[in-house]
Amino acid sequence: MVRDGEHLILVTVCPEGNYEEGEIQFWEATGSPLIPLSDFSDPIIMKKYGVKCDPETLDIVNTAAMQKHIMVILKIYWGDAREKICEAIDKIPLSCLVIGNRGMGKLKRAILGSVSNYVVNNGSCPVTVVKQVEHEH
């Protein structure tokens, strides 16, 4: 979906917690600063954000950055994922969003609410939902 020379902004939302130390308390309202790929590839730097990056995701975005000559940036929010993702769309701003669907059952989705469904209905940019693929054993 991303073309040569474009920006790919990864948005992650961590649950609210009792972050008593450092910058996280300051960033809870606005989200983290934009974090370049070189920084969020470094586990020591990411420790201060309270986030551990997935090695498979890092491999994918590092490869995309090299092959497509794109700038990859991470933005971290803390709080309710539905609200914070919609906030990211407007504040960053994002021209489009690709979001995963965890594939919760109908009962769980009715009780907890679907983040992707909320963002599709309330986000102010085009949203593509990618469903989780069930692997056959």
Q: How confident is the model at residue 110 (pLDDT cuts 50, 70, 90)?
A: low
- Coil, strand, or helix at residue 48? coil
The token duo for 21 is 């130390």
Q: What residues make up the domain containing 38? A: 1-79
β partners of residue 101: 131
Q: Which tokens hold the place of 127? A: 């949203």
pLDDT digits (tens, 9 = 90+) for 11-66: 999 887 665 566 666 777 788 999 999 999 999 988 888 888 889 999 999 999 99
Q: Is residue 128 part of a domain?
A: no
In a domain, 118, yes or no: no
The total domain count for the chain is: 1
Residue 107 lies in a domain: no
Residue 26 is assigned to a structural domain of this protein: yes
What are the C-alpha distances in Å from 104 to residues 4, 57, 86?
35, 22, 21
Residues 53 and 41: their CA atoms lie apart, in Å, by: 7
Q: Is residue 92 part of a domain?
A: no
Predicted structure pTM score = 0.82
Closest to 82 measured CA to CA, from 115, 112, 124, 130: 115
For the chain, the farthest-separated pair of C-alpha atoms sits apart, in whole angstroms, at 46
Residue 104: CB atoms within 10 Å? 15
